[in-house]
Amino acid sequence: MKIKELLSKKRILFILLFIFLVFIGNKINFSEVIGSKNQYFTLFQFFGPIASSFLGSVFGIIVVLSAELLDFLIVGKAFTIINLLRLTPMLFAAYYFGTRKKTISIFIPTLAILLFILHPIGKQAWVYSLFWLVPIAIKLIPNKSLFLKSLGATLTAHCIGTIAWIYTVPMTADQWIALIPTTAYERFLFALGISASYLVINTVLDFVVEKLKIKLPVNTLLINKKYSLLGKISKINI
């Protein structure tokens, strides 16, 4: 593909739009991160991963990273190892959500399980790492639902974040085990949020492209008609 096609005006426009959405979502707190003061999960967790589904894995990761770095610079966070590590979970979630390739998507949670169990505390709370068998199993399902793909993405982000956390923040094995029901509930909500965000944005983009008759170069914007509510809405008699 030529550079001109790769970086077309329309693609750049959509990339900037997603960067804006991700950046705004990162400003709206959803729930507090247990074990840390003034650290929150945000609405970014709901639609950060879906960018790669519309723009492709590479551009999706670029969008997420750009939004995170923008927030990083505006807030004025220090360039510490911990702060930099916190940028990575959503990058892997975006990759997982947007790619059909299995190798890396399976390797990451597998490595996370290994690293968790190798940690002295993680070894005692090894059962916690079983969460990450889920994204591995989901990736092996041929025709997975949107919810399952969303669940796999959020648990991929979770495994990266957890490994960074266990190696940098002191916690006991009992604390990790006590987190299991909270984590299950939290990730279920995130998966629902990701699914809903994808449905809404996919439908809005489909509507805009259809109604404005926008001609898009191949692979500029990957809209999935299967998950567009446009047709269903048009059939409703008001």
Determine the pLDDT at residue 219.
Answer: 62
The answer to whether residues 108 and 160 touch, using CB atoms and an 8 Å cutoff, is yes
Per-residue burial over 73-86, b = 16 or more CB atoms within 10 Å of its CB, e = otherwise:
eeeeeeeeeeeebb
Query: 103: how many CB neighbours lie within 10 A of its CB?
Result: 9
Backbone angles phi, psi at 41, to 5 degrees: -80, 145
Token reading at 182: 């909270």
Determine the pLDDT at residue 151.
Answer: 96
Rounded CA separation 166/164 (Å): 6
One pLDDT digit (tens) per residue for the chain, 238 residues = 455 555 566 667 777 777 777 777 777 766 665 555 556 667 777 778 888 888 888 888 888 888 778 777 776 666 666 666 777 888 999 999 988 889 999 999 999 999 999 999 999 999 999 999 999 999 999 888 999 999 999 999 999 999 998 998 889 999 999 999 999 998 998 999 899 989 988 888 888 777 767 676 656 677 888 888 876 655 544 4
Strands (E) located in the chain: 29-32, 40-42
Q: How far is CA 178 from the centre of its chain?
A: 25
Determine the pLDDT at residue 143.
Answer: 86
Determine the pLDDT at residue 206.
Answer: 84
The answer to whether residues 145 and 194 touch, using CB atoms and an 8 Å cutoff, is no
Token reading at 220: 């500029």
Rounded CA separation 83/232 (Å): 44
Determine the pLDDT at residue 123.
Answer: 96
Rounded CA separation 176/35 (Å): 10
Backbone angles phi, psi at 101, to 5 degrees: -70, 140
The answer to whether residues 92 and 157 touch, using CB atoms and an 8 Å cutoff, is yes
